[in-house]
Amino acid sequence: MGSYKMMFCFTRKFRVDDVEPPEDVRAAFNTYSERGNYMTAELLRRFLVEVQGEVDTTIADAERIIHQVIQKQHRITKYARHTLNLDDFFCFLFSADLNPPIKNEVHHDMTAPLSHYFIYTGHNSYLTGNQLSSDCSDIPIINALKRGVRVIELDIWPNSSKDDVHVLHGRTLTTPVPLIQCLRSIKDHAFSVSPYPVVITLEDHLTPDLQAKVAKMVTQTFGEMLFYPESECLEGIPSPEALKHRIILSTKPPKEYLESKSSQDKGGNSQKVRDLPGEDSVRKNGSNPTAEPESVDDKNDCDPQDDEDMDDSYSYSRQLGAPEYKHLITIPAGKPKEGLELALKVKPDKVRRLSLSEQALEKATLSLGTELVRFTHENFLRVYPKGTRVTSSNYKPMIGWMHGAQMVAFNMQGYGKSLWSMHGMFRSNGGCGYVKKPDFLMRAGPGIDIFNPKAALPVKKTLKVRVYQGDGWRLDFSQTHFDSYSPPDFYTKVGIAGVPADTKMEKTKPIKDNWNPTWEEEFTFSLTVPELALLRIEVHEHDVHEKDDFAGQTCLPVSELRPGIRAVPLSDRKGEQFKSVMLLMKFKFV
């Protein structure tokens, strides 16, 4: 029986059909054309205004689109006609560069304080792979900056001879890279895709002498690009607009080490102190409402380099040895030494940053949800992956965003659904790396309720998504990539990543044996917090006997979706856009 099936498979032929316009496209062309024959610039303008919701479109805009379509379709620079036929119109709609699902331009208010924005944030930005044995390099830093990441994390340690500074994931097998190399690469690439400020978060494991050396490196490398407060404490932070093309440092001021030192054995015992875990810590003590008994699992809840073993040479007089280093810290970071509830109390005119592991944040949300949101009105909250994610995997970012966390720190070198969501969020606002937080996360004042992420909310908006068809796989994949003996059986998954009440996933039926599948299926999503919702889209190839094959994905911010019929380009697992693969979809808000 098996050999018979194999012989049967060999007799099947590959079929590549031309993609035909779906019925909605034909209907739109008939409505907005002269007797169903051709579409003038004025009629195209009416279609763009009335169907696509592009109310500011002018005749000149429509003429420019016609010119671009004719060039694309017929590969001519001078064109005789100034109208579109049905094929041209379909070409326009199915073109990702002419008819994208979201705008590629900065359009949020960029004049609010920096703390009013979600900021594209990397974790251990220097690692090329896993957290334990991969190389440290400036290459992943450059790649992150080119993707629009605005917060770069560097773990800085003394080199083997204690006379220079290396970047590495401490107490692991990762190979180091010189700090100066990372700083120079940041300078060269910081503003290659976005003019808005880059924040460097330092995980500092240095002696005061080396801190002074870092201060000199930083000032000499960045020069006028470096922004730091004139006074010892920053009283309110400027806006992304005011900080264009500037570099900002955020780390624990040297003074923080003294408090760790003072907790050592009062009887002169020289045992080392274990701060859990470095700057990214909730200290586990009785006053911490999120604390839990320390165990082996607890010790795995932090990055190895975060266990700061303080050397006895750290003394008060030596801490005064690097005042220039402390002066360069624009956003001071710290940890809740006397419990998280106390640490979340807002101190007027003193901007600071608090870092929590993904687990610590989850525990804090059980009883301190509104306090977290209030803290983030003016201060910074950074969330980072638990230390057991040695493969550089990531957590679900939404829990951080719905509590106002500006810096949801991710491992950018891997891939997966969580990272796809991160890519989707920061496609917002032209991909500039700063997304203005929704107003409800910034509400404050007498008689105004702080946003409660746990509260049951009414449906605010309903999104209808129609999946028409897909194309491009036959150009970007080999004929045998999905199935050795027949064309693929594609299906599409569509859903929402958002607050728990909004999260949902649907899928179309598989279309058998077709490189150009047409589904014509519609899905409805009721959204209570559309401002934070992300539209997840995946295509897979159905396989009866094995795991379904991945065929593309993208994630789009619902708040930025352009209504109407749109071309949606898909990306690979790592988030790199395919050359040709895309879907034709329709978005409608009701």
User: Which residues belong to the active site?
Assistant: 123, 169
Residue 174 and residue 137 in contact, taking contact as beta carbons nearer than 8 Å: no
CB count, 10 Å around CB of 484? 9
* CA 587 to chain centroid: 23
Angle at 400 between CA 103 and CA 462, to 5 degrees: 50
Residue 474 and residue 530 in contact, taking contact as beta carbons nearer than 8 Å: no
- The pairing of strands 165-167 and 198-204 is unpaired
Measured CA to CA in angstroms, residue 382 lies from 169, 237, 437, 538 at distances of 19, 16, 15, 29
Sheet (strand 518-527) strand order: 504-507, 490-497, 534-541, 549-557, 564-571, 577-589, 461-471, 518-527
Tokens in use for 229? 């407060």
444-483 in b/e form (b: 16+ CB < 10 A) is eeeeeebbebeeeeeeebebebbbbbbbbbbeebeeeebb
Tokens in use for 454? 């746990």
Task: Give dist(CA 177, CA 242) in Å, integer.
Answer: 32
Tokens in use for 71? 């060039």
The DSSP call for residue 430 is: G
Residue 434 and residue 197 in contact, taking contact as beta carbons nearer than 8 Å: no
